[in-house]
Chains A and B, each alone.
Chain A
């Protein structure tokens, strides 16, 4: 059995209504417990008009579970899932701006692109912008290399994650819209599907 007291990265997926102020309501559930939100992304979801938050924190499963319940308690939150990195497919996107002349002089751009899976988005006389997509280690690796060549700007996006074992939210939403939703919208953690998907 996996330990619930060991800290690790958790991906929290929150399905919500689209409402002003909800971001704050969600954020304070973390800040109140002095939890550091490592990454937060809000986007549309597979269901029209339903928003999806991807939140990453490093914590024990026990704490994550409590936070997830407090999130789900919010009126405009439909559903909360939390998963370890093994349970999700996730990506982050990074952009790097470097001086074109330095790069051209010192490194083989072609090698860079191939080794780090990067793509040149813009090439101008004064600077070049590369892009990579991948896991944290991958996007970080290129930073270290480019740092030596006068990296001008670096930015990395929040994480987006897809839950491996999820069937999506369409069917769930139909349940929620019923006056008396069936049991499977309330699959709390006592009835979760074991290792695959942690859900409340």
Chain B
């Protein structure tokens, strides 16, 4: 029975249980899960699903990317701005292996994805059939869960599980590999049922009031408490709860690059960025505080620097939804596991309303030093070539902190994270844990689909842009409005910086040449311009932002600037250098 005929019969009410193909069941399930956007690329082993998709064009907006890696990053961008699950389609073999980088990125940055890959017929599994790759085993280390479907009857339950697992608890990527026979196979189906419980899976650890009480007691007795917050606050939709906690406690709070935006940049208790290229005060004072309160962050080594010299003087309170994060890197004095949406209000209720003015003043002193010695020169230069910092600074003035900034990886990423202003949550989309060059362009596409009413600016280096440059084709075809800002220092800047500082300026293969980016964009019918003079910068930014549709702005910046402050590898956070 074909779909049209089926729909007719349904309309007449003559079919009770429908007979549908595995592909149709899958797509209907996606719709039941609230999916409206899919990033994907077709191929032999997933053709039945694409054939079925032809009839669902209205309900499911499929974005044809130019490389499957782009599909995963786009889905990540979509998930991160929308708070929904990103969905990816790819074919078997090379299609599936092209997903790996994005899946690994989503795994380490806790981004909910459901990736659907086609697979060869079940009867051919293990025979080195055409485009057969053991995608289940390849993706096992980088997925929260994966499953191979070989029979259509498994699809509804597996899909429901996939969505539940991807988005519940600590989110992450899930992959379903569906053999071609299961896509084609027709079976009778019943109504789709969402999944809300798996007996072997406990996404939300039980909150223990006794730990909350211990944590509150520690906080109430602290003289120099310090809050570190990460993406957990965003993932738990706990921004309000977090703000209430911070404001009642009066405790200075610093962010990881995935946590930025949980409270606005200008909030008086927001003292800045943690980590290798974070702000001066938060790094130094980590080793001076008496109680460290980590909320939804995992003490990544880029945040902690040398672990055996990290906050040794402090009592540590660690709020996290994932018990495996507790004590993994930094020993917790009091672990408060649970969703911070739930635990933060419990904690807020028990803490005293306070202000820590003297302690806060210490952060301000360090901020002032950093402004004098680093930030002014980076963000407000009046002579010499353009700097990355001033570009971001001018962008802030024009967007007023309301834009979504998507960054690639390298110096420009650190500069953008340091200086971009964020008034809203879910506004900084960056590849944190994996540091994936090539992330920004496709992620920006997804970010815009996830937040269509926002201005989306992708900040990308000349190196990283060339890694996924083909996604300009996706922009062209989908007509999506993404502002692309290339900060071109004619180097693989971040690696060059390390070579300058630690390898005696032996610039080994970091000198990268670029095509005429504006001309390339033009080839994709995307307008753009290149700017290298200070007097033209603001006008160029305005042109980009006011342009209807996508726009590429290439900014030539000074070649050999370094990002400071910096905690050199192997050093403790308090050994942070200003130059």
Contact = CB atoms under 8 A, between A and B. Distances in A.
Contacts of B328: 66, 69
Interface in A13-27: 16-17, 20-21, 24-25
A181 B136 contact: no
Interface in A164-182: 173, 176-177, 179, 181
A69 B323 contact: yes
A75 B198 contact: yes
Contacts of A188: 323, 337
Q: Which A-B residue pairs are the 4 nearest by beta carbons?
A: A69-B324, A176-B199, A78-B200, A75-B145
Interface stretch (B72-80, B201-209, B342-350): B201-209
A20 B140 CA distance: 12
Given A21-B136, A176-B200, 8 more contacts: A66-B328, A69-B324, A69-B326, A75-B145, A76-B201, A176-B199, A183-B208, A186-B206
B200 A75 contact: yes
A25 to B, nearest CB: 5
Contacts of A75: 144-145, 165, 198, 200-201
A24 B197 CA distance: 24
A182 to B, nearest CB: 8
Nearest to B322: A73
A65 interface: yes
Nearest to A25: B140
B199 A177 contact: yes
Interface in A72-90: 72-73, 75-78
A179 B327 contact: no
Interface string A57-77: 000000001100110110111
B127 interface: no
A8 B322 CA distance: 27
Nearest to A68: B324
B354 to A, nearest CB: 28
Interface in B326-370: 326-328, 335, 337
Contacts of B326: 69
A65 B335 CA distance: 15
Interface string A142-186: 000000000000000000000000000000010011010101011
Contacts of A77: 200
A190 B335 contact: yes
A32 interface: yes
Q: Give the interface centre of A66, A73, A177, A200 by most chain B CB atoms within 10 Å.
A: A73
A66 B140 contact: no
A28 interface: yes
27 contacts: A20-B148, A21-B136, A21-B137, A21-B146, A21-B147, A21-B148, A28-B140, A28-B141, A65-B327, A66-B324, A66-B327, A66-B328, A69-B323, A69-B324, A69-B328, A72-B323, A72-B324, A73-B323, A75-B165, A75-B200, A173-B199, A176-B199, A179-B196, A183-B206, A183-B208, A186-B202, A186-B205
A32 B199 CA distance: 27
Contacts of A76: 200-201
A32 to B, nearest CB: 7
Contacts of B144: 75
A181 B202 contact: yes
Q: Give the interface centre of A65, A66, A75, A179 by most chain B CB atoms within 10 Å.
A: A75
Interface residues of B, number: 28
A5 B322 CA distance: 24
A21 B140 contact: yes
Interface string A98-115: 000000000000000000
Nearest to B136: A21
A130 to B, nearest CB: 38
Nearest to A19: B147
Contacts of A176: 199-200, 202
Nearest to B169: A73
Contacts of B208: 183
Contacts of A24: 137, 140
Interface string B124-147: 000000000000110011001111
A47 to B, nearest CB: 11
Nearest to B337: A188
Contacts of A17: 200
Nearest to B205: A186
A70 B208 CA distance: 21
Contacts of B147: 21
A17 B137 CA distance: 18
Interface string B304-334: 0000000000000000001110111000000
Nearest to A21: B136
A65 B281 CA distance: 34
A95 B140 CA distance: 35
Given A75-B201, A78-B200, A176-B200, A32 B141 contact: yes
B472 to A, nearest CB: 37
A190 B327 CA distance: 12
Interface in A28-48: 28, 32
Contacts of B201: 75-76
A140 B202 CA distance: 42
Contacts of B335: 190
Contacts of A25: 140
Contacts of B205: 186
Nearest to B199: A176
A25 B200 CA distance: 15
A79 to B, nearest CB: 9
Interface string A108-136: 00000000000000000000000000000
Nearest to A188: B323
A21 B137 CA distance: 8
B510 to A, nearest CB: 30
A185 B197 CA distance: 15
A190 B326 CA distance: 11
A66 B324 CA distance: 7
Nearest to B201: A75
Nearest to A67: B324
A199 to B, nearest CB: 12
Contacts of B337: 188
B20 to A, nearest CB: 26
A32 B108 CA distance: 15
Contacts of B148: 20-21
Contacts of A65: 327
B200 A16 contact: yes
A179 B197 contact: yes
Interface in B146-179: 146-148, 165
A17 B161 CA distance: 15
A1 to B, nearest CB: 15
A46 B201 CA distance: 20
